Structure formats: C-alpha cells, structure tokens
Amino acid sequence: MPETKATNGGELDAWAFNSIFELVPFSIAIIDRDYNVVKANNNFASYFGEWRDKKCYAVYKKLNAPCPHCTIRDVFADGQPRVNDVDGIDQYGRKAHYIGHCAPLRPDGRGRVDYVVEMSLDVTGTGMWQQEYQILFDRVPCYITVIDEDYCIVRANESFRENFGDVLGRHCYEMYKRRKTRCANCPAAKTFKDGRVHHSEHQGTGKRGQKIHYAVSTSPLIRDSDRVAHVIEICNDITEQKKLEHEVIEAERLAAVGQTVAGLAHSIKNILMGLEGGKYIVSLGLQKNDKDLVSQGWEMLERNFDKTTTLVKDFLSFSKGRLPKLVMVDPRTLVDEIVDLYKDVAAKSGIELKAEPDDGIKPAPLDPDGIHTCLTNLVSNAIDACLMGEQKGSLVTIRVRENRDVLVFEVTDNGCGMDYEIKKKIFTTFFTTKGGGGTGLGLLTTRKIVQEHGGKIIVDSQKGKGARFRMEFPRARLKSLYLESEEETEGD
C-alpha cells in the first residue's frame, strides 16, 4: 500500500475511518437529536433503502412518527449505550429482524451527546432458525425434558406439557410418575454419573391419570466435558405398542386356554375309561364269584383314582400365577435339593443320580419354587426314561454351567431317548409316553416356568441314545426381570 505511506496521519485516519465505515458487516446510521439520519453506510442503504433527508423511524420502521419506546432518545438522555432486539421493515417492505447497538457520539470528546450511532446486525435468518428449532422441539413426536442436577425440569416441550402438565420448577419424577422421591432405576442418574447415553422403558402417569408407557433415552446436554450439569430426556410414547402387545399375548393365552381345556378333557376321559373298566371288572368278578377278577378291577380303580390326584396336582402347578417370584439364590443349592430328594428313588431302581455343578457359579435371581418344579419334572422324566430304556448302568446327571452370561441347567440321562415324532409333541400337547403314569403336563409346565424367567428350554435326544434337556437363562434378562419386579413392589 504505497499510497497510504505517502499520506500524513490525519488523512490516514479519515481514509481508514471511511473504509471501515463501509466495510464492517453492520448497517450503520448516525442520527441527530431530531431523529434525522445524517450519515449511513452502503450496507445500511442496501438493507433499509434511501435514508437521505429522512427521519430514523421512517427509515427503520417506515413510520410517520417516533417509535413509542425510542432507544435513541434514551441514549441521548443518559449517554449510555444500549443493545436491543428490534423488528423493523427493510427497503422491500419485508420484516427485518436485527440486533441494534446504539452508542452515543460526543464530537467534542465528552459532555453533550450530539449524535447516536446505531449499528444493526441483521439476524432475520438466525431468528427463523431459532423459531424453527423451537417448533421442532415442541412438535417432534417425543416427550423432551431437560433436567438439572436436582432433577428439576428446566425445559419441556409442548408434547410433554400436553400429556404430563405444567412443569415449572417440578421434579421429573413428580411429572413422569407422580412420585415424591426419585425412581430406583433412574437412567438420568446414570447419565449424570458417567456422561453416557442410557436407554430404558418405563410406565408413567399423565396429567389426566392415564397410564403412559415410554422408552426414554437420557443424554448429557454438553459434549466433551467431565461434568454433566444438565441431562436431556427424550421419550418415545409406546403405549399403543404395549397395548397391541398385550392384546397379542391375551389372544395367545386364550388359545392356550383352549388347548389346555382340550388336553384336560382328554386326560379326564382316559381316567374315566379306566374307572369304567375297573367298575366293570369288579362287578364281573362279583357276578362270577371270581376273587382274582375283583382284585384286578379294584387295582384298576385305585390306579385311576391316583391318576386323578396326580392330574389335579400337575394341573394346579401348570395354572399357577404368571409372574415368577425372583429372589437371589445360589443355583447349586437348588440342584443339591433335587439330588437329595430323588437319590433314594433312583437308587432303588438301580439308577445313579449325581450333580455336577461348575465352580464359580454366581447367585442369580430365580424363582426357587419354579426352578424346583422344573428340575423335579426333568429328573423324574429322566428316571422314567432310564426305566424304559434297555441300557445297563443307568445314569442321570444334573449340571449347572455358565456360558457367556447365560446360566444353564442341564439334565442328562442315558435312557430310552426319543424319536423325532415324540420330540415334536412333548411341549405342545398333553402328550405322554408313560401310559398311565403321566399327565402330559410336566414338560409343558417346565417350559412355561422357563419362559417366564425369560429363558428357553432345548432338548437333544435320539431314540435309544438318551436325552439331554437344557434350560438356558440369559443373566441380562433375569436382571431386568428382577429390577422390574422390584420396581413393581416399590410402586405398589
């Protein structure tokens, strides 16, 4: 810039002032005490239009008289600069949203303010973004709340307020669940602690007392910081899905009831047939004075009365309440109990029964009565299978293992085994291969209990080659069922 160097200081000041006056990304206007715009830059002209010989209110807002709350007048009055968020009208008559910085100008250096300079920054675009963001925040089909470290809601979107009510200064647990204390398994607490995103499902209560199911994800409101001061909770309303799920389960249950009744009817018919037969043979024996026939018929009657007892017992355990009562137990003690219970029975039939629990199996939340029933059924089946098989040296083994966070109970026998036809039917019907000895409910009950624990039962068998029944319980499922049941008892 050779020219600049040639000029003296005063000329440089004037040149620099003019250049900057035009270059700054503001619309600048200098206004006198009579609201006249006395000087403005090109930015100003291209934003608000022609300004020469015009009053500021005419240029900024296209008005005929000074604005009711005039910032410029205030600056003239007390000499203090001000910043305002202002709505005006641009040269094309469109709404102009700008931040106006008004500062006093004192040509004599101090004392009286002769002019005010107003530097305006157009934020029309930014304002729209803000508005759009606000609409997005309010209308997005989620409930969104921002909470502080005291679990007070500092912001909530419209969807939330419509369904849960006004939030000002209320705690999130009051609003979501109408509670007076924090929830036991609060996902926000985890986020405050570790700064990570957490997901979970909950049931809350709306402002009209309606039940609302929601899936919430909690995330910190800041990035890359050690301390989380606010957490944002974004909730998806899954009430409808839950309702549908419930209907499906209900329909399945009805179908199961139908199947159950049909199976029960069949079991009863079989017992009746036995009773009918016993009755007939007894009366035949009496008629002929044949003592052997009488005692044969009488045994038949006794056997079928016993069957009734077994059926009722099995049926009651099959129809028992749906939710397992989970408590922390050592899986090995459950197995030991079964071995103690069946050891003598097995030994009498020449069958060895033994437990082989792995080392280091941790306690797990299980329903001890339920698992007891399952193991009882599996072990008594295994013993029966050994009796039906031709293998010498019959052996029934109960193992407890841990396989990649899955707790496994395994009952293995070297008895008669099953072919495909039988394997297909064992869980789905009241099928029994034990003739009079079975009700066809044992494995069905076992499967039901295992499923209630969030687990599954797998059978592995070949005809003549024994069988292995494996109950698998993923620990994660057990844990969440455990937490759910805890929350439920707490909620009651």
- Applying CB under 8 A, the residues found at the interface with other proteins are 259, 262-263, 265-266, 269-270, 272-278, 280-281, 284, 293, 296, 300, 303-304, 422, 425, 429, 431, 433, 435-436
Q: Report helix, strand or coil for 324.
A: coil
| DSSP assignment letter at 453 | T
Residues 58 and 52: their CA atoms lie apart, in Å, by 11
Distance CA 341, CA 329 (A): 19
Pick 299 or 356: Cβ nearer other proteins: 299
CA pair distance 400, 162, nearest whole angstrom:
52
User: In the complex with other proteins, which residue's Cβ is closer, 103 or 422?
Assistant: 422
Of 30 and 443, CB closest to other proteins: 443
CB nearer to other proteins: give 71 or 296.
Answer: 296
CB proximity list for 475: less than 8 A, separation 6 or greater: 364, 405, 406, 407
User: How far is it, in rounded angstroms, from Cα 216 to Cα 142?
Assistant: 9
CA distance 273 to 258: 23
Tell me the closest approach of the beta carbon of residue 396 to other proteins, in angstroms. 21
- Cβ proximity to other proteins: between 276 and 358 the closer is 276
274 or 455: whose CB is closer to other proteins? 274
Pairing label, strands 211-220, 143-148: unpaired
Pairing of strands 198-205, 364-366: unpaired
Question: Which of 354, 419, 356 shows the shortest CA–CA distance to 385?
Answer: 419
Nearest CA among 405, 421, 399, 387 for reference residue 455: 405
Quote the CA–CA distance of 425 and 431 in Å, as a whole number. Answer: 6
Tell which residue, 460, 293, 448, has the closest CA to residue 377.
Answer: 448
> Which parts of 178-290 fold into alpha helices (H)?
187-194, 239-288
CB of residue 273 to other proteins, shortest distance in Å: 4
Looking at the Cβ atoms of 116 and 264, the one nearer to other proteins is 264
Residue whose CB is less far from other proteins, 79 or 277: 277
DSSP 8-state code for residue 171: B
Task: In whole angstroms, give the CA distance from residue 414 to residue 207.
Answer: 62
Least Å distance, CB 259 to other proteins, is 8
Distance of closest approach, residue 261 Cβ to other proteins, in angstroms: 10
Contact criterion met (CB below 8 Å) for 118 and 37: no
Max CA separation in the chain (angstroms):
148
Q: Smallest gap, in angstroms, from Cβ of residue 274 to other proteins?
A: 4
Shortest Cβ distance from residue 248 to other proteins (Å)?
21
CB of 481 to other proteins, least distance (A): 32
Tokens of 438: 């079975």
Cα 284 to Cα 350: distance, rounded to the nearest angstrom? 39
Joined tokens for residue 374: 């399952």
**CB-wise, 8 or 309, nearer to other proteins?**
309
- Considering the complex, what minimum distance in angstroms separates the CB of residue 440 from other proteins? 10
How far apart are CB 441 and other proteins at their closest, in Å?
15
Smallest distance from other proteins to CB 187, Å: 46
Interacting residues of 158 by C-beta distance below 8 A, sequence separation 6+: 138, 139
Helix (H, G, I), strand (E, B) or coil at 334: helix
Structure token pair of residue 195: 């700064």
Residue 419 CB, shortest distance to other proteins, in Å, is: 8
- HSE-CB at 28 with a 13 A cutoff on CA atoms is 17
By beta-carbon proximity to other proteins, the closer residue of 133 and 420 is 420
The smaller minimum CB distance to other proteins, of residues 41 and 381, is found at: 381
Cα–Cα distance for residue pair 487/253, rounded to 1 Å: 25
The minimum distance between CB 279 and other proteins, in angstroms, equals: 9
Residue nearer to other proteins on the CB measure, 266 or 313: 266
